[in-house]
Amino acid sequence: MLRVLLLFLLLLAGIVLGPLLAGHQGYVLIQTDNWDIETSVTGLVIILLIALVFILALEWLLRRLFKTGTRTRGWFKSRKRSLARKQTQVALMKLAEGDYRQVEKLMSSHADHAEQPVVNYLLAAEAAQQRGDEIRANQHLERAAELAGSDRLPVEITRIRIQLARNEDHAARNGIDKLLEVAPRHPEVLRLAEQAYVRTGAWSSLLDILPALGKYQLVDDSQLEALQKQAWLGLMNQSMADNGSEGLKQWWHNQRRRTRQDMTLQVAVAEHLIACNDHHAAQEMVLDGLKRHYDERLILLIPQLKDGNPKKLEKALRQQIKQYGATPLLWSTLGQLLMQQGDWQQASEAFNEALKQRPDAYDYAWLADAFDRLHKPDEAAQMRRDGLLLTLKNNP
């Protein structure tokens, strides 16, 4: 830079001093309507250089003035950003304290100058919803949507969360369906989907997301099993509500073979058929299940069946006793079935077998009824005393 300046000065000196030393400065005439300007070439060069210096000085002055305005604006913006940062920090502390009024106020004030203005507005919306101000919550949501641009996922998640808080379940369900198309593996989307589907009875949709809920460990195994059972029961109830037992049977027939082999679902379908007073279909379901597996839940349903053909059930129970052993439940259930047939002697023997293995107040009562029918009042009275003592012992 210094070399350029020196060269410039030497050039200037050559232009000015050269003609003076040579004695030939030249002649320049500038003529207008009213003025005639006469000067030498050297004088013209000096005038041009002075004009250039003046222009550069003016440019420097104007640049300084405009730069000062920019700095002033920058100072104000920096101050607002700093204030927004401090307010956001205080708002987070208030959020931990549960002071939602202050959270909304601090998050929304100067939110446009915050580092993440969308986040500020979303937190302000949730804080407004927490204190029941739906109008302010909607305003903050709309502002967040304007600032979010194409990245609308956080805004829509917050919107659905607020809708669920307002019990606008079907609106939340509609939003969830759209979000699952965009982000089917997003943890918060899946959590909200679970809530929306349970509330709206969208059991098929709930079953569709259960594998993802389990895969990403959003629910534990017991919760997953409970949700699955709830979904299946919901589908059964819908089928019953639409077409009664025929609708339920048709729905069950349309399920995959693996689903129909699920013992929990078999028990549930049998219970629903009993509730529909379709005891024949329920009995077939119970007997079919017992052929494949021993399950106490199916055994417990047998006394509720009133198909008019108890011999099949008696045969199945005796086969279960032969195959899986003489358990108290099997003997007690057989005794109840024999009582329904009026076979009091065999019923009393079955209840005795059950009581030999474990005392049970219900078996004592049923055995007492059987002894009454067999005209054995003393034995019946003894069974009632034993049952009463057992009840008092278990419930002091």
DSSP readout, 337-389?
HHHHHT-HHHHHHHHHHHHHHS--HHHHHHHHHHHHHTT-HHHHHHHHHHHHH
Q: Out of 201-205, 208-212, 231-235, 321-325, which region has the weakest mean confidence (pLDDT)?
A: 321-325
pLDDT bucket at 17, cuts 50 / 70 / 90? low
**Is position 72 within any domain?**
no
Q: Out of 16-20, 127-131, 141-145, which region has the weakest mean confidence (pLDDT)?
A: 16-20
Question: CA 142, CA 146: separation in Å to the nearest integer?
Answer: 6
Give the whole-number percent of the chain exceeding pLDDT 70.
Answer: 84
Q: Which residue has the tokens 């001093």?
A: 17
What is the rounded average pLDDT of the residues 272-280?
90
What is the rounded average pLDDT of the residues 118-137?
87
**Is position 189 within any domain?**
no
pLDDT at 164 over 70: yes
> Which domain CATH number covers 382?
1.25.40.10
Burial status of residue 174 (CB atoms within 10 A of its CB: 0-12, 13-18, 19 or more): middle
How many domains does the chain contain in total?
1
- Residue range 91-127, pLDDT digits in tens: 677 767 778 788 777 777 777 667 778 888 888 888 8
> Which structural domain range is residue 344 located in?
309-396
According to DSSP H, which parts of 216-343 are helical?
Answer: 221-253, 257-260, 263-275, 279-292, 296-301, 310-324, 328-341
pLDDT bucket at 2, cuts 50 / 70 / 90? low
pLDDT at 1 over 60: no
Phi-psi bin for 186: left (phi > 0), alpha (psi -120 to 50), beta?
Answer: beta
- Residue range 185-210, pLDDT digits in tens: 999 999 999 999 999 999 999 999 99
Mean pLDDT highest for which of 50-59, 71-80, 187-196, 241-250?
Answer: 187-196
User: Residue 8: what pLDDT?
Assistant: 61
**Is position 357 within any domain?**
yes
**Is position 299 within any domain?**
no
pLDDT at 24 over 60: no
Task: Name which residue leads in pLDDT, 329 or 83.
Answer: 329
**Is position 27 within any domain?**
no
Question: CA 156, CA 189: separation in Å to the nearest integer?
Answer: 10
**Is position 354 within any domain?**
yes
Give the whole-number percent of the chain exceeding pLDDT 90.
Answer: 42
Picking from 140, 138, 132, 142, the residue whose alpha carbon sits closest to that of residue 100 is 132
280 — phi, psi (to 5°)?
-65, -50
Question: CA 248, CA 272: separation in Å to the nearest integer?
Answer: 8
User: Residue 68: what pLDDT?
Assistant: 57
**Is position 103 within any domain?**
no
User: What's the mean per-residue pLDDT of the chain?
Assistant: 84
Query: Buried b / exposed e across 232-251, counting CB within 10 Å, b at 16+?
Result: bbbbbebbbeeeebebbbeb
User: Residue 56: what pLDDT?
Assistant: 76
Question: CA 298, CA 315: separation in Å to the nearest integer?
Answer: 15
Taking residue 381's Cβ as centre, other Cβ atoms within 10 Å add up to: 13
**Is position 389 within any domain?**
yes
Q: What distances in angstroms separate CA 140 from CA 108, 159, 311, 383, one per listed residue?
A: 8, 10, 70, 73
Burial status of residue 256 (CB atoms within 10 A of its CB: 0-12, 13-18, 19 or more): exposed
User: Residue 181: what pLDDT?
Assistant: 92
